[in-house]
Structure 1
Amino acid sequence: MLRALCPVETLYVGQRSRAVLSTALRGRVDAGALSAAFDAVTRAHPSLRTRIVPDGDGFALRLLDEAERPRLATRTGTEEDAWATELNTPLPVGGPLSRAVLVSAPEGEEHLFVLSVDHTITDGHSSIALNNEIWDRYRALVEGEAGPGAGAADARGDSGYSRHATASSASGAPDASGALKASGALEAAVEEPGWPVPVSRLLPDADETATAAYLARRVEETRAHPVELLPYDVPPGSGDGRIEVCRLTFDEERTTRLRHSARQAGVSVHALICAVLLITARRRLAGDEPRTLGCLSPVDLRSRLSPPLSAAVMVPAVTTHRQAVEVGGQADPVALARTVHARLSDFVAGDGPHHEMRITPEIPRNPALQLATVIATNMGVVAGPRLPDGLQATDVRLAPAREQYFPQAGRSPVMACVVSFEGRLAIEFPYFTACFSPSFVGALRDEVQDGLAAFADAAEPAAAPAS
């Protein structure tokens, strides 16, 4: 059975990028119950048990055989080694688009659960919701509740789910070996739980002329204002690299203070983070004069689709906003944050997000449409998993990883993945060691931390509201 990928989803096929979400745990974990919970979630979300296959001029998702579907893997090891190993273990080409691993310390009281999902079928919001759904089902199993995870499954409702396969799966489309599918494909398609509807099909109707004009304007903007990237500090040919992540964290009190300072300045926390990132990046370029830098902000589309999608729906429902700004060596972070905030707010308030999604197929031909000096994702404030008594989540992390890096390019954007689990800010800086060195990214992280801490610590303690 096939489900054709839409243009937005197809963009991720070549990137080989994935969301890597980890939950550090203290206490006893019933590996059998966790395995059953993961199996139940993969049954509820067909995309998790698929592979990507060619489909005409594009690609499609193809359900895996029962023996091939992903299962929970368990092993013994340390949290640090487990995180590094999973970051650097790709989802296999032609294999499952999801992986779940539980790594336990030898004494059995410390664990790390790592969930990896291909970005072709997920975004940050749905990967977080998926992780929480797994633990909801686990909690129901170990506490003996009937119908574990029913609430999470029911929350999908009709928001973007189809009870039938796409036309390609019902019409005898060739499978990976080129043979026609069996005549019972249509019956199987009807019985299969609903595929998530591609985001491209949920966009409102648009005037093709307006979309073409939007594309022309965007292309002209990128030509008129080319942005600078950060040069790699690792010499070419220095050997094989690996994915590492440098991390910045604030406790709940300092996070609350930062939000208060942002409100006082009339900007969002996201805009403030972007401004500090841009100024920190500017310090890595020569001279003191203004330089044109780019800031790319992913924008969640779920509330802007028809019907709106809940975070439980497993699709990449995100577009981007790119802006070019002039940043001098002595730039004022508040003024820069106000510029970033105003431009992003205008974009979100208008029809820009829908237009940006529609021109996605043009990105491979015009990569400058998404070229930026800094990329700042932001999931906002989200809840962590709800666990049974006797088991505690000591940390939750979300970081992107991909399989293709290009040291030979000599320069690239830097990425910051921002998420506040349970009201505590964390910024993950993923990088490839054949491009940027740990000392380079560590120094960048420290400067960003100092810049944000200056705003957080300027807030009066009494003025900071409760989280």
Structure 2
Amino acid sequence: MMFASSEIRKLAPSEEWYAQSMTYGAITLDLTGTFDTAAMSAAFDALLESHPVLAGRLERDSGGRHTIVTDDLMHQGIWIASADSDDVFLDPGASLINLTVKAVDGHTEVTLYVHHSLADGHHQAALLFELFSRYADAVATGGTGPGGTAPTPQPLETVLDRRGIAKNQRSGLERFMPAMFAYDLPPAAVSGASKQPTRPVPAPTGRGRLTAAETNAVLEFGMANRLFLNPLVSAAVLLAEWRLRRTPEIPIPYVYVVDLRGLVEPPVGAMEATDPLGMATYLAHIDSRTDIVDLARDVADNFATDLADGVVQTSMLHFKPQYDDGPRGLPDVVSSTNLGRTPPLPTPPGLSVTDWRTTIYRASTVVDMYSVGIFGENLAVEHHTYAPEAQRSVDEVLTILRDAALQLHR
């Protein structure tokens, strides 16, 4: 039987990028204590009722563009996975959000998957917070919290237009022009001829974190040098890449994601927009004398200039799916995103969150993204990539940050 579908809205160009590659973001939480599967199922249903756009799916037209649609079929609800199951079948033509629950070695893993066209990392984290708020209510009272229906989140284009922010003539990629076709480049870390998956699959990921004491020392080092965490970690990532590439004379193009929510006026709420993001760029010229503080300050200064000039705010309006591989003639591009500090999730008594991690699912092997965030008291670094030595790159970044923090005590 066929069910008629209703159009919610077409994807904006900034969202279409993620639809073409079927990109999902996943956040996995490790939970210790008593877990109530029925209460989580009720909380997830309530989340979908509160955000009905998430219960939709993507429909592709003859021209290859996507529309968010809904039909009379109910969402399938949460997935109960076996402990030895790692495969998850994600299909944007069927669902844009999924939740798995898995019992593993005496604890519970809960993973929230959201299609990137509908939510970036900060939006997804807010959905996860609401989900656990409703779960805590369900365990405590049998209810699932307040009702009401949230409006469909706006695309980046609408966010900017309603604030009178016009597309800048510059994209930020101009910063890379001096390095294009200027060097004898080694083969790309990931061959463009690699077989591409036909459905979203998890990108290989290296992971590591600092202890609470090490994290505090890094934050103190940043404050002592008048540096925020993001440029400091960016500098560590670039220094690590420079060491591992073994091409010391070739500069490193760097692109990092910028959350625009607090950088526009009026500010944008966590779930008011899908992907209100900008892209900042930097071309790193590194040699054996490069100091992490000087490099971090230069990253910060370049960002401040591009933000003041309005380049960062509209940079994503210039980016196209074909930029995934980077402009031709350019050294391998390093990308990163900062997830910020994860707020404590509301959990009922007897249940605690002991760990978290993120995964990128994509129907493409063109993935190379560092992600950085603070969970509890620990700074975590992840490297999602099909390139070799993902774990080694993470270990190198953390070593550089540890060594930098020690400078305060020498």
Instruction: Tell me which interval the TM-score lies in, with the shorter structure as reference length.
Output: 0.7 to 0.9
1:62 to 64, 69, 84: 69
Q: Is the 8 A contact 1:229 1:373 kept in 2?
A: no
Where does residue 224 of structure 1 map in the other structure? 178
Give, in whole Å, the separation in 2 of the partners of 1:422 and 1:139: 19
Q: Within the alignment, does 1:119 sit opposite 2:116 as a pair? A: yes
Residues 364-393 of structure 1 deviation map (CA, whole Å, 9 limit, x = unaligned): 599539986321210221213111001111
Q: Within the alignment, does 1:52 sit opposite 2:58 as a pair? A: yes
- Shift of residue 75 of structure 1? 3.0
Where does residue 139 of structure 2 map in the other structure? 142
Where does residue 13 of structure 2 map in the other structure? 7
- Shift of residue 36 of structure 1? 0.5
Where does residue 128 of structure 1 map in the other structure? 125
1:394 to 348, 354, 371: 354
Where does residue 182 of structure 1 map in the other structure? none
- Shift of residue 4 of structure 1? 1.4
Alignment of 1:15-414 (within 5 A): 15-54=21-60, 58-67=65-74, 69-77=75-83, 81=84, 85=86, 89-105=88-104, 109-144=106-141, 148-150=144-146, 194-203=151-160, 204-206=163-165, 211=168, 213-215=169-171, 218=172, 220-226=174-180, 231-232=188-189, 243-289=203-249, 291-305=250-264, 307-313=266-272, 315-360=274-319, 367-368=326-327, 373-405=333-365, 414=368
- Shift of residue 124 of structure 1? 0.8
1:298 to 1:7, Cα distance in 2 relative to 1, 3 A:
same
Name the structure where helix makes up a greater proportion of residues.
Answer: 1
TM-align CA RMSD? 3.2
Where does residue 377 of structure 2 map in the other structure? 423
Q: Percent identity?
A: 22
Q: Structure 1 length normalisation: TM-score?
A: 0.76
Q: Is the 8 A contact 1:246 1:441 kept in 2?
A: yes
Structure whose alpha-carbon radius of gyration is higher: 1
278-287 vs 383-392, which deviates more?
278-287
Where does residue 444 of structure 1 map in the other structure? 393
Structure 2 spans left out of the alignment, 5+ residues: 1-5
What is the one-letter code of the residue matched to 1:149?
A: G
Give, in whole Å, the separation in 2 of the partners of 1:366 and 1:26: 41
Give, in whole Å, the separation in 1 of the partners of 2:12 and 2:60: 13
What is the one-letter code of the residue matched to 1:374?
A: V
Q: Structure 2 length normalisation: TM-score?
A: 0.85
Residues matched between the structures, number: 394
What is the one-letter code of the residue matched to 1:119?
A: H
Give, in whole Å, the separation in 2 of the partners of 1:34 and 1:229: 50
Paired residue secondary structure (1:101)? strand
1:193 to 1:364, Cα distance in 2 relative to 1, 3 A:
same
- Shift of residue 104 of structure 1? 0.9
Q: Is the 8 A contact 2:20 2:321 kept in 1?
A: no
- Shift of residue 349 of structure 1? 3.8
Give, in whole Å, the separation in 1 of the partners of 2:229 and 2:190: 30
1:424 to 1:229, Cα distance in 2 relative to 1, 3 A:
farther
